[in-house]
Chain A
Amino acid sequence: MGGFLQALVNPAVPFVRNALIGSVLAAFLFGILGSLVTVRRIAGLAGAISHTVLGGIGLALFLASRGAPKWVSPMLGALVFAILAALLISLVSLKAKQREDTVINALWAIGMSLGVVFLAKTPGYIDPMSYLFGNILLVTSQDLYLLAALDVIVLLLVVRYYRHIEAASFDEEFAATKGVPVTAVYLALVLVIAVAIVLLQTFVGIVMVIAMLTLPAGTAGYFSRNLAGMMVNATLLSLVFSVGGLAVSWHFDLPAGAVIVLLSGAVFIAFSAGRMLAGRRLARS
């Protein structure tokens, strides 16, 4: 562990400090948005968005190799695909709820396959693993500014509209009778999640974004008394998991993203098992 602390202050390896700052900034998004994803049960939607992102990255890299202008970056491709996927799923969810599941799974698979096809046709070897599992040590200062900006936006929105978001998540119908624009709240949430996924996947990768949006919040849900408490607890858990995972991965020379997710997953499973055992004991007595 001492090695990790030394690396943090070592000017020769600034990327370690960036990774730490990134983990802290990401924890807010994982905690707040993850809680909303969990209570609204839209983890499938978030999963589909994050996997569709690979299609956008692949397309952007492919176009760049064919002489597209410089602004056609993987980040832009990812953003366009994420927002399109979010809008498409929302449309189906609002207009034909019974098809939502099918569309989510279709986009999930199509998005990934598109990415693989484009990457295969892009000259030079590109390792899809780095997009799937991310590399937290490759975070740039620009990524950090974007993450910080999104943190501020999400915090402002959640503080200002907390009661409305809570009501629309708990009982959409009742909230609507009180004049809360529930469709707009839902669309705003889905779009913010889409943007967050694009920024977060640079850290932990496409596959693991969805784990970090569900595991800390799911664990927090076991002991939080309300949605606000769940957001705070999930943020703290994400912070512990990502900073802890980073330190452990540095120490044992393991991939950081995977270690962070394993840590989060282990704690979640331990909580779930503890809950089940406690419930059984309660039922017996």
Chain B
Amino acid sequence: MSDMDHSAPQAQAADEVHLPHAPENVAIWCQNLAFHYREVEVFNSVSFHVHRGEFVALTGKNGAGKSTLLKLIVGLLEPAQGQVLVFGAPPRRRIESIGYVPQHTGFDAAFPIRVEEVVGMGRLSGLSPVAKRQKQENVEWALRQAEVYDLRERPFSTLSGGQRRRVLVARALVGHPKLLVLDEPTANMDVDSEKKFYDVLERFKGSTTVLVATHDSDFVSALADTVLCVGQDIDHPHSVHRHAIEQAVNAPEDIYGGKVVRVRHDIELPDDACCEGKE
């Protein structure tokens, strides 16, 4: 299934755009993207790209459009204009490559479901029947990776906030995604849970492309290779910019559960700043 998924769409996409690198090396390609909710403009001519294996922090104030951008990237929303490509194809054709961890603040505590079953949802692909044996191994692997294996029999509603977020990460990991997209995964989390959460993410640094939206915009986790800022330029409120990062001096120690780097919102980098030496 995944082989078909990768060859056909690339051929089609290559006709329409010229990616600067081989499509399998460009995890995300946004070109001239525009999006609005009815009359409210959210994005206008947004262009940026993310290389395979990069760890990207997406920052921006509440309401700037971080979640909207993530939804465009995972294919939950369609752009009004422009293009989003994930590994060279529209997100809807890259279902197997994308692992999404939604914000999920409004889940229903009365829903009877166990951790193992929540994670098992990661096995779904369209309306195809779920192949049991081989995919059960993936569920167990994902449960262990996110350090929730011991919780697998527990009702989801009895977990703490931090545990729940890790379960949702496990669910996203089941399909061995090449791109992991997380929407404010550590919001309202205590310091210890946050540390544990970033420890889990650290395992995937380098091997999996990670795009994580965060609420705090002055510092980001030191895992980040790249920082993209949504709507922080007053002159361009509907844009996404690449900002410089530097080693943080006197940084608060109680965020992102470990080392952080400072975001220099005053230094904007060109979009090809990341391309040197990349195929």
Contact = CB atoms under 8 A, between A and B. Distances in A.
Interface of A: 39, 41, 160-161, 163-164, 166-167, 169-171, 173-181, 221, 224-227, 229-230
Given A176-B76, A177-B100, 16 more contacts: A161-B127, A163-B124, A166-B113, A170-B113, A170-B118, A171-B107, A174-B171, A177-B74, A177-B98, A178-B121, A179-B124, A180-B127, A221-B110, A224-B112, A225-B155, A227-B113
5 tightest A-B CB contacts, nearest first: A179-B126, A178-B124, A167-B121, A177-B100, A179-B95
5 contacts: A161-B127, A167-B121, A170-B121, A171-B102, A180-B124
A221 B112 contact: yes
A99 to B, nearest CB: 14
A240 B236 CA distance: 65
Interface string B56-98: 0000000000000000001110000000000000001001001
A171 B113 CA distance: 12
Contacts of A163: 120-121, 123-124, 130
A225 B124 contact: no
A41 B106 CA distance: 13
A41 B107 CA distance: 12
Interface residues of B, number: 30
B121 A226 contact: no
Given A163-B124, A163-B130, A171-B107, A226 B95 contact: no
Given A221-B112, A225-B114, A227-B113, A179 B125 contact: yes
Contacts of B125: 178-179
A166 B95 contact: no
B37 interface: no
B162 interface: no
Contacts of B107: 170-171
A230 B155 CA distance: 13
B102 A174 contact: yes
**Which of the listed residues A41, A174, A221, A224 has the most CB atoms from chain B within 10 Å of its own CB?**
A174
A178 B120 CA distance: 12
A16 B18 CA distance: 74
Contacts, number: 79
A174 B98 CA distance: 11
Contacts of A169: 111
B108 A175 contact: no
B104 interface: yes
A225 B122 CA distance: 19
A166 B75 CA distance: 21
Nearest to B92: A179
B113 A226 contact: yes
B277 interface: no
Contacts of B92: 179
Nearest to A180: B124
A39 B122 contact: no
B117 interface: yes
Given A166-B117, A171-B102, A177-B100, A41 B108 contact: yes
B270 interface: no
A174 B108 contact: no
A225 B121 contact: no
B136 to A, nearest CB: 13
Contacts of B108: 39, 41, 170
Contact of A175 (B74, B120, B124): B124
Nearest to B75: A177
A225 to B, nearest CB: 6
B32 to A, nearest CB: 24
A181 B75 CA distance: 13
A175 B95 contact: no
A173 B171 CA distance: 13
Contact of B102 (A164, A173, A180, A181): A173
Contact of A177 (B76, B123, B155): B76
Contact of A167 (B110, B114, B124): B124
A164 B123 CA distance: 10
A224 B107 CA distance: 18
A164 B127 contact: yes
A81 B162 CA distance: 47
A230 to B, nearest CB: 5
B112 A226 contact: yes
B176 to A, nearest CB: 14
**Which of the listed residues B102, B108, B111, B155 has the most CB atoms from chain A within 10 Å of its own CB?**
B111
B110 A175 contact: no
Contacts of B120: 163
